[in-house]
Amino acid sequence: MLTHADNELLCRVGPATPMGDYFRRFWLPACLPDEVTLDGPPIRIRILGEDLLAFRTSDGTVGLVGDHCPHRGASLFFGRNEEGGLRCVYHGWKFDTSGACVDMPNEPAESDFRTKVKAVAYPCQEWGGLLWTYMGPSHLAPQLPQLEWARVPADHRRLGRWIHQASWLQVLEGDIDSSHSMFLHRALDPDLQQRSRRFGVLNDRAPRLSVQPTDYGFVYGGRYRTVDEGIFNWRLTQWMLPSHTMIASKQFPVGGRVYVPVDDEHVNIFNYRYHPERPLSDQELAFIETPLGSPRRERSTLTLADGRRVDTWRLLANRDNDYLIDRDRQRTGNYTGILGIQEQDKAMTESMGSIVNRSQEHLGTSDVAIIAARRRLLRAVRDLQQGLEPAIAAMGDAYRVRSFDVLTSAEDLQEVVAKHQADLVAIA
Ligand code: FES
Ligand SMILES: [Fe+2]
């Protein structure tokens, strides 16, 4: 459990909040690059409680600017994307991707007022098949995390983004909570069970879980009994600050997610699956397109609680339709009656409420990684409040790690990590 104050500290991410400041020390994915087209309409994105617009100019440069025109606050979403900038349709002021006002047609030609006005704008970079932004102080520009999935050629990976209607932390906590897989994601019919094994779903329902801290976050190990006495199946998942995960998998393609808070009560999920050595095969891509491989989703404009709208991707199974739960399927098909791993996760994490009340929890031994992550985040956020910058933000190469799944006689996590050090290092 967490005190109410600590829970608030971790979940409030808007401007000038401690956790929001911490996130603003890292490069964060904003959207998929092909969501913004040459001279096409801007798309509305909210990141860390700030309403922003992404747009691509005629020469391919991407801009991420504040939604409100600095003149009198009209939304630049209605603006014209023309020749290297976004022009507000209220009085015609035009801003380039750096936020500079490059035209102010309703002011006298001799006025230099234009040079004194700047729109909110954040730097953008295309990296690893995503569009990233950095929203922190410019003198502290961090390094891009050298994640293996981001370093491989484009045809070695498949990416997707969608929104969950809950706090970033409770959604991320699902990835470092290995024991839920044996329940939430369990298949009942033999055909589904067969396919679920691709996710490494095993039958030991009470694995021994442990955490080994690292510079970048931690390695989290689940030790599962096997039919062979003295041989364990160790599943090692990576958590990288502030909100990257890589899930243990028996073989490539391996998957994971990046969680980017939209605001206190929504999170953008960037999902990846990749192979380090070769393009994804037709068979792997076909599987990724099935409901078990990726959630069925649609491009959608969502109206948030304060009336603002964001352009995103929404799962077809969502809160409004009870995640398409099918009680017959729940009797004979799978544990939940909900189709799809991501949909099952979404149902649970959203059902906790927008920000779960962690002062009411009862955490057990299976929650060891969640406890460790919260402690680490609290420490990092408090350090930053004291003026200690996160060193990891400037250590892009520290992110070159892998998750891992192995059969071994090693009894504890330290031993597995020591024995398989090479398998936990990215090669790409
Ligand atoms: S409000 Fe945008 S130009 Fe006036
Ligand atoms: Fe899950």
Report how far ligand 2's centroid is from the alpha carbon of 173 (Å). Answer: 9
Report how far ligand 1's centroid is from the alpha carbon of 83 (Å). Answer: 18
More confident residue, 124 or 288: 124
Q: What is the pLDDT of residue 196?
A: 44
Share of the chain above pLDDT 70, in %: 96
Testing ligand 1's pocket by substitution, the residue of 65, 67, 69, 113 carrying the most ligand atoms inside 8 A of its CB is: 69
Q: What is the pLDDT of residue 198?
A: 44
Testing ligand 1's pocket by substitution, the residue of 90, 104, 113, 114 carrying the most ligand atoms inside 8 A of its CB is: 90
CB 367 within 8 A of CB 9: no
Dist. CA 408–CA 72, nearest whole Å = 64
Report how far ligand 2's centroid is from the alpha carbon of 178 (Å). Answer: 8
Dist. CA 249–CA 424, nearest whole Å = 12
pLDDT surpasses 50 at 39: yes
Q: What is the pLDDT of residue 193?
A: 57
pLDDT surpasses 60 at 201: no
Mean pLDDT over 295-311 rounds to: 94
Sequence-distant (6+) residues with CB within 8 A of 366 are: 177, 178, 179, 206, 207, 209
Q: From the alpha carbon of 92, which atom of ligand 1 is closest?
A: 3
Mean pLDDT over 140-154 rounds to: 97
Sequence-distant (6+) residues with CB within 8 A of 311 are: 35, 43, 44, 45, 299, 300, 301
Dist. CA 90–CA 110, nearest whole Å = 21
Ligand nearest to the CA of 107: 1
Please give the model's pTM, rounded to 2 decimal places.
Answer: 0.95
Ligand nearest to the CA of 199: 2
Looking at residue 119, the DSSP 8-state letter turns out to be: -
Q: From the alpha carbon of 74, which atom of ligand 1 is closest?
A: 1
Report how far ligand 2's centroid is from the alpha carbon of 305 (Å). Answer: 27
Q: From the alpha carbon of 72, which atom of ligand 1 is closest?
A: 1
pLDDT surpasses 80 at 203: no
Q: Long-range contact list for 206-210, CB < 8 A, 24+ apart?
A: 206/179, 206/366, 207/178, 207/179, 207/235, 207/366, 209/178, 209/179, 209/365, 209/366, 209/368, 209/369, 210/368, 210/412, 210/413
How sure is the predictor about 142, in pLDDT bands with cuts at 50, 70 and 90? very high
Element (H or E) spanning 287, and its range?
helix 282-288
Testing ligand 1's pocket by substitution, the residue of 53, 71, 117, 120 carrying the most ligand atoms inside 8 A of its CB is: 71
- The C-alpha angle with vertex 32 and arms to 197 and 399, in degrees rounded to 5, equals 65
How sure is the predictor about 366, in pLDDT bands with cuts at 50, 70 and 90? very high
Sequence-distant (6+) residues with CB within 8 A of 28 are: 47, 48, 132, 133, 134, 135, 258, 260
What sign results for the dihedral spanned by CA atoms 410, 412, 415, 417?
positive
Pocket of ligand 1 (CB under 6 A): 69, 71-72, 74, 88, 90-91, 93
Report how far ligand 2's centroid is from the alpha carbon of 322 (Å). Answer: 17
Report how far ligand 1's centroid is from the alpha carbon of 93 (Å). Answer: 6
How sure is the predictor about 191, in pLDDT bands with cuts at 50, 70 and 90? low
pLDDT surpasses 80 at 202: no
CB 338 within 8 A of CB 347: yes
